[in-house]
Chain A
């Protein structure tokens, strides 16, 4: 029996656990090995995920599980994503959907974001959580590598109304050598599909001398789908097998992004303290419309939302792409 959640399409017969080790076969069906077991549950800001154009400045309950279907040589979450989930059995945080929702409401969160590992590893749990989140009026978002099959991409879209998709490079060679997958095509297919039906942002971690030469092709591809898709270029501080690789030069990478800025409306360059490239400027007139502050890795915040009613540029009136309500200050009370 095959698992069709991602493009590995692993054979789960005879007790095999698949590449991600998160699914197994049970009575002729694919079942999660660790349903409703979470590796993380904490409160954060939407900008830290990062989402810069979805529910600005909102407070979010961030969650994650275990396992991954990629083998990124620079993984910064290897302690969770790259080990057999069974090793974490004792620490797993077992929480039913209603408990997670209660947690979100207790903390005044306005949405939930799955951001630790790949959501395709836990689709069944997330589908259940989605039902409760809908009842509580909490939208769900995620970070995904989009290496899902066409069927499960639709499941992702059914669960998540906003997605940040990691497009880590543009060549098959890079994906083979650094990510451990054979083809980039399914990712590109899914980005195109998800952009049509959901709010998406794209994130590209850049490693100098490895994938910086692919930035032009990536921006070209995104612009071909929709130039208003926000693109986050992350200065990657490699971990795991690539810990000793030099940090990318901020000046040089920024130079490389100049061409992309002509093609795309919203190009951000961050993941380092005090980045100058985290503000949103109006693509038409250059007025600063959203100001942010970056503390680097997972520490971004919104400072000022300067758009007019209807998310319009205060100077020229151009509509700025925003999903969800900005300034969600209406904290929900726990029930």
Chain B
């Protein structure tokens, strides 16, 4: 059983991650987590101290739990760039702050870094409105260039093919063929995947009302900086980290919304794509890194999540219906933690023993949440 502790400031609640039912478990790991959550109130997604919260929470956990693997996600720059008009000077300052934060974290912890940028951001040009189609178009909250098309009419397809802002209309099989062997549930993949040209996004029902300024741009490869060696594709990250864990305390650091264009330290490029398809920042990309296998179909772009979202298990885990298997920290044989300020990604994609993440919805700060995935194995005397 995975345990959740939600901290809504001055008030904590313990629940079962799978069922959402209240539970009461008191042991070494819950004591650590309760204390960490109490000491580190989440300042908010776009707050000046949001990324510092990731570092400080992780350092507190490190001090008590002594993990060999630390997975960190820094996302403040992604949220700010997306929802605010930034001058070039402001944008550069924001990037510099992120890299200083990473330096701070590494200097304080002494861990060996594996720093990954999830991809470039680009100016948002315009939205393509798909609400008038006969069929159902779905584009995820955070997706930029992908939308799924369900039950389109010939009229829909004819119309879409006239839009110069659309780069590709890929039939379901075309996408499946691109990733031979990748696990997929056929019904979840939309009949067509619409791919917009860089800078354009799709407006479908559920597209948030906030004005968007920057969105994920073309990132066929993404930067990886580490003294541990190069990885040709992002599927190689898992092996690189796990092979080195017995000799190194490793910090896997994910910098959201930063690609090759803006990476501030020497890096090697790692393939983030297959043919014309590339991963945007999000759960599929993170799961691909974490499991070492292509996870394009874990949450297919444009799948009709609205159909599946009702009263499911794992109420704190977004679209996830089960804890993904084979993640980077699972069964690694070493202690692990994960801390991030992009909500449920942190506890679901890395599989770390103890995870702490922000609990925010549409940038509204609700507090933070901790998850203990392996309470039985975590014993005080083992460290």
Contact = CB atoms under 8 A, between A and B. Distances in A.
A and B associate: yes
B154 interface: no
B48 to A, nearest CB: 12
Interface in A287-312: 293, 295-299, 301-303
B110 interface: no
B147 interface: no
Interface string B125-136: 001010110001
Interface in B192-234: 203, 205-211
Interface string B108-145: 00000000000000000001010110001000000000
B15 interface: yes
Contacts of A79: 209-211
B10 A249 contact: yes
Contacts of B129: 93
Nearest to B312: A301
A251 B364 contact: no
Interface stretch (A39-47, A209-217, A256-264): A39-47
A297 B10 contact: no
Interface stretch (A15-23, A99-107, A196-204): A99-107
A272 B11 contact: yes
A42 B206 CA distance: 4
A237 B15 CA distance: 22
B359 interface: yes
Contact of A237 (B310, B316, B364): B364
A80 interface: yes
Contact of B132 (A99, A273, A299, A303): A99
Nearest to B22: A274
A273 B369 contact: yes
A116 interface: yes
A91 interface: yes
Contacts of B15: 274
Given A43-B306, A250-B11, A273-B359, A237 B205 contact: no
Contacts of A42: 205-207
A272 B367 contact: yes
Interface string A252-279: 0000000000000000000011100000
Interface in A107-129: 107, 116
Contacts of B210: 79
Nearest to B8: A272
A273 B8 contact: yes
Contacts of A274: 6, 8, 13, 15, 22
A172 B135 CA distance: 51
Contacts of A239: 364
Contacts of B362: 297-298
A122 to B, nearest CB: 14
A95 interface: yes
Interface residues of A, number: 40
Interface string B154-186: 000000000000000000000000000000000
Contact of B131 (A95, A250, A298): A95
Contact of B205 (A41, A273, A295): A41
A247 B207 CA distance: 29
A251 B11 CA distance: 8
A272 B311 contact: no
A66 to B, nearest CB: 9
Given A91-B127, A297-B364, A250 B10 contact: yes
Contacts of B127: 91
Nearest to B316: A295
Interface string B1-42: 000001011110101000010100000000000000000000
B339 to A, nearest CB: 18
A296 B362 CA distance: 12
B366 A107 contact: no
Contacts of A76: 364
A235 to B, nearest CB: 8
A56 interface: no
Interface of A: 39-43, 45, 59, 61, 64, 76, 79-80, 88, 91, 93, 95, 99, 103, 106-107, 116, 235, 237, 239, 247, 249-251, 272-274, 293, 295-299, 301-303
| Pairs of residues from A and B, 10 with the lowest C-beta to C-beta distance, nearest first | A274-B13, A42-B206, A296-B366, A250-B11, A40-B209, A272-B8, A273-B6, A247-B9, A39-B209, A297-B364
30 contacts: A42-B207, A43-B205, A43-B306, A76-B364, A80-B209, A91-B127, A91-B209, A91-B211, A93-B131, A95-B131, A99-B132, A103-B205, A107-B306, A235-B8, A237-B365, A237-B366, A247-B10, A249-B10, A249-B11, A272-B367, A273-B369, A274-B15, A274-B22, A293-B20, A295-B315, A296-B8, A298-B361, A301-B315, A302-B311, A303-B311
Given A237-B365, A250-B10, 16 more contacts: A40-B209, A45-B310, A79-B211, A91-B127, A91-B209, A95-B131, A95-B132, A106-B136, A107-B306, A237-B366, A249-B10, A250-B8, A251-B10, A274-B8, A301-B310, A301-B315
